[in-house]
């Protein structure tokens, strides 16, 4: 079945450091890919998405590129802030009107001043 694998956390960084959170996927078709973020005490919210190969999603300084050849969608940010501390979820959805989201297990990011 379809699945998403993320690097385990927590990822601990100092402010202004470069961030990479790895995500790879297995899917039977050609999925759309997502990064969701969950801030402490809140629900998940969409951070960025890409719907086809080679697309780059970006938002709030974060970006991820849909790599079909490596089945990956790694999240990157050039300079993290304390306010980026959260749990990040990679997810996929097959491009069907009846599909649902499959999530990875989440990666906690802790950014210290």
Partner 1 sequence: DADVTQTPRNRITKTGKRIMLECSQTKGHDRMYWYRQDPGLGLRLIYYSFDVKDINKGEISDGYSVSRQAQAKFSLSLESAIPNQTALYFCATSGLHQQGTGELFFGEGSRLTVL
Under the binding rule (CB under 8 A), the answer on residue 34 touching partner 1 is yes
For residue 100, state whether it binds partner 1 (rule: CB under 8 A): yes
Q: Which stretch binds partner 1 (CB under 8 A): 19-27, 53-61, 73-81, 103-111?
A: 103-111
Question: Given the complex with partner 1, which of 44 and 80 has the nearer CB atom?
Answer: 44
For tokens 């998940």, name the residue.
44
Closest CB 71 distance from partner 1, rounded Å: 17
Least distance (Å) between residue 84 CB and partner 1? 19
Answer yes or no whether residue 35 interacts with partner 1 by CB under 8 A: no
Euclidean distance between CA atoms 69 and 67, whole angstroms = 6
Write phi, then psi, for 83 (nearest 5 degrees). -70, -10
Angle at 108 between CA 50 and CA 111, to 5 degrees: 105
Binding segment (CB under 8 A) for partner 1, from list 10-18, 20-28, 69-77, 94-102: 94-102
d(CA 86, CA 37): 7
Query: CA dist 111 to 1, 13, 14, 66, 95, Å?
Result: 34, 5, 5, 26, 35
Complex with partner 1: residue 17 or 87, whichever CB lies closer: 87
């Amino acid at each position: 079945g379809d699945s998403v694998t993320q690097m385990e956390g927590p990822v601990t960084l100092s402010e202004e450091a470069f961030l990479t959170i790895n995500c790879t996927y297995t899917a039977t078709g050609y999925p759309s890919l997502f990064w969701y973020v969950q801030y402490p005490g809140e629900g998940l919210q969409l951070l960025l998405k890409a719907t086809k190969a080679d697309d780059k999603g970006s938002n709030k300084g974060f970006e991820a590129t849909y790599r079909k050849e490596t089945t990956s969608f790694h999240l990157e940010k050039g300079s993290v802030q304390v306010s980026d501390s959260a749990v990040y979820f990679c997810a996929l959805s097959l491009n069907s009107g009846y599909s649902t989201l499959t999530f990875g297990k989440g990666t906690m990011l802790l950014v210290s001043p």
